[in-house]
Amino acid sequence: MKKVLTYGTFDLLHKGHIRILKRAKELGDYLIVAVSTDEFNALKGKKAYYSYKERKEILESIKYVDLVIPESTWEQKIKDVIKYDVDTFVMGDDWKGKFDFLKDYCEVIYLDRTEGISTTKIKEDLKVV
């Protein structure tokens, strides 16, 4: 079984999120999604609209996702790859090169982002309304 792992906040779920999850799942048999906890988001200076628990529940309902785990630190990625016996690590290409250190442990793939959509854009658009 080929396992794929990706990370993100996954707040205000949109078509870009769904597309990256679908493409990540197509790279293997089992997709693990690590979701930033509320505490970790605070350390990053981010605030999600939905709580970690709510975002986890939403992701667990998506047919492409097999397992949702918490992301609590930047440093946990190597441990997660080893713990879950991950074959492929996937992130959006806005992170290109930043996780190449994982190539010692698994394949690293950066997928193109969906043009014209992002959580940041949605939040900005909603401020105008």
Active-site positions read 44, 46
Rounded Cα–Cα distance for residues 8 and 34 (Å): 6
Rounded Cα–Cα distance for residues 104 and 49 (Å): 35
